[in-house]
DNA sequence: TGGCATATCCGCCTTCAGGCTGAGTCACCG
DNA sequence: CGGTGACTCAGCCTGAAGGCGGATATGCCA
């Protein structure tokens, strides 16, 4: 007994959404339960409907990658299928690491897309053939280079950021590094300024996003 | 000016080599210039003939990965197409990083294999569909299992955590979710309690550690 | 029907984070 | 020798964060 597969579409272009909808409505087992036009809306919609699959455009207000990440956290049941016009390996890798299951280019035909969605609902990944090649490139290069902004940090600032990214308070960082808390606050302020973020949580997120915690 | 594509086959099973040879000989544009049964022989053969493509078994004496690496170094012109019976993500990733271009499972049919070889000669990668899935898994490195503690969070709490993990302040989370800041603070407190952490930065780190990538 | 979990909101209070300013030491460099 | 940058520390002040208690409304389940 196969229930319908419930799908949320997230794309900032109405035309694209309508096109996808028209594509998918020819398949009786696929039900579109909602459409969003930005990352925030996509997360909200997924949290609300808990769809089986979210079809997310890589390029959208708020960011397709951020949308993927928030959807995966806020709505673990929902599998994310990425939709993209461009074959940017870095972006695709980032999206996969953010929790995207499959990745399709926008030139797929209706049946292939439907098939991808069905497989996604079962947790099976599908890679668009041309995406596969890009992914191989990215893998070969061994992950993306870190942010150049991180390079502007001094040694001490990097240490402080690393401990911030572990969730330590100023006091604990001070103890860990054997310096005063005031000094830590100075470093923290400098780090926040250089990274152009407004608080330690954003700095920690920055560190994780830029990969300083992954190699 | 389509010259024949020159191919070297490296597999330790005579039967397999003969099978592949029989497969490919039905295609006039594919020429098998040599067969090797181990890594050393494959490298020697490639260095000698500088073939366009080397079809390398992942499992062979001397190691398919080592064979790939040495071939790529000793004979840069030669593209390596991996052939494997097993879908071991680690092995495949390692082989790709060693320089393999494409990866096929041994259940491909003759035409698909021929097509892969032609593309490889042009430098285009092809991933066997089932291999793609494994590769995604490896990339994701354990995002699926998720922490069991995350399961104890309510829907709303997961949404709040997702936004905390993006670095948003209580005020911004409130705006994003369309609820009051006081309510957000309540949710945040509950999340901190359930995750057994003492501040939002630690919660964000927790989300990143358990929800997205790496160990 | 009475618990129980969830989600929403309010107020009070304490602690901490982070901005701003200033300042001392040290090492390196032109 | 003076300048520059990194590292250290200090005081002051504002605002955000988070704990604690209380409150209301929903829906689910025994």
User: pLDDT digit string (tens) for B15-45?
Assistant: 778 888 888 888 889 999 999 988 878 887 8
DSSP state letter for B196: T
CA–C1' distance A58–C18 (Å)?
A: 35
Burial tier of A14 (Cβ tally within 10 Å: 0-12, 13-18, 19+): exposed
Burial tier of B190 (Cβ tally within 10 Å: 0-12, 13-18, 19+): middle
Task: Determine, for residues A214 and B212 on separate chains, whether the beta-carbon distance falls below 8 Å.
Answer: no
Say which residues have a Cβ less than 8 Å from residue B147's Cβ, sequence separation at least 6: B206, B210, B211
The pLDDT tens digits of the residues spanning B76-92 come to: 678 899 988 766 677 77
Asked if B187 reaches chain A (Cβ–Cβ under 8 Å), the answer is no
Q: Identify from B116, B133, B142, B171 which residue to disrupt to test chain A contact, counting A C-beta atoms within 10 A and taking the largest count.
A: B133
d(CA B164, CA B142): 21
Which of B126, B146, B204 minimises the CB distance to A205?
B204
**Interfacial A residues in 10-29 facing B (CB < 8 Å):** none
CA–C1' distance A210–C16 (Å)?
A: 27
Question: In chain B, what's the furthest Cα-to-Cα distance?
Answer: 74
User: In this model, does residue A86 exceed pLDDT 80?
Assistant: no
State the pTM of this model. Answer: 0.64
E strand spans, chain B: 5-10, 30-36, 53-57, 79-84, 100-105
Q: What are the boundaries of each domain within chain A?
A: 5-137, 143-210
* Counts for chain A of helices (H) and strands (E), in that order: 11, 5
Sign of CA dihedral B9, B10, B11, B15: positive
Across all strands, nucleotide nearest A201 (CA–C1'): C17
Which residues are paired to A55 by β-bridges?
A9, A81
Lowest mean pLDDT among A172-181, B84-93, B111-120: B84-93
- CATH level 3 topology of B5-137: Rossmann fold (3.40.50)
Chain B residue nearest residue A73, CA to CA: B162
Which residues are paired to A8 by β-bridges?
A34, A54
Confidence of residue A1 (pLDDT cuts 50, 70, 90): very low
Confidence of residue B150 (pLDDT cuts 50, 70, 90): low
Alpha-carbon distance B84 to nearest alpha carbon in chain A (angstroms): 17
A83 touches A104 (CB < 8 A): yes
Chain position carrying tokens 């160990």: B215
Say which residues have a Cβ less than 8 Å from residue A11's Cβ, sequence separation at least 6: A17, A20, A35, A37, A55, A56, A57, A60, A83
What does R_g of chain A's alpha carbons equal in angstroms?
Answer: 20
CATH 1.10.10.10 fits A143-210, yes or no: yes
d(CA B14, CA B8): 14
């Amino acid at each position: 007994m196969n229930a319908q597969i419930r799908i949320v579409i997230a794309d900032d272009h109405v035309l694209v959404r309508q096109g996808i909808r028209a594509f998918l409505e020819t398949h009786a087992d696929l039900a579109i339960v909602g459409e969003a036009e930005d990352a925030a809306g996509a997360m909200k919609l997924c949290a609300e409907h808990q769809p089986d699959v979210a079809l997310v455009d890589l390029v959208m207000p708020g960011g397709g990658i951020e949308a993927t990440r928030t959807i995966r956290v806020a709505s673990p049941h929902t599998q994310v299928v990425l939709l993209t016009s461009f074959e940017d390996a870095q972006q695709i890798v980032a999206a996969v690491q953010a929790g995207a299951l499959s990745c399709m280019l926008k030139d797929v035909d209706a049946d292939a897309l439907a098939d991808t969605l069905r497989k996604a609902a079962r947790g099976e990944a599908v890679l668009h053939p041309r995406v596969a090649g890009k992914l191989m490139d990215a893998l070969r290069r061994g992950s993306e280079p870190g942010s150049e902004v991180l390079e502007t940090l001094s040694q001490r600032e990097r240490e402080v950021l690393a401990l911030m990214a572990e969730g330590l308070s100023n006091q604990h960082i001070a103890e860990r590094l054997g310096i005063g808390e005031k000094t830590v606050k100075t470093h923290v302020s400098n780090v926040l300024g250089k990274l152009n973020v407004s608080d330690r949580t954003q700095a920690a997120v920055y560190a994780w996003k830029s990969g300083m915690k992954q190699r």
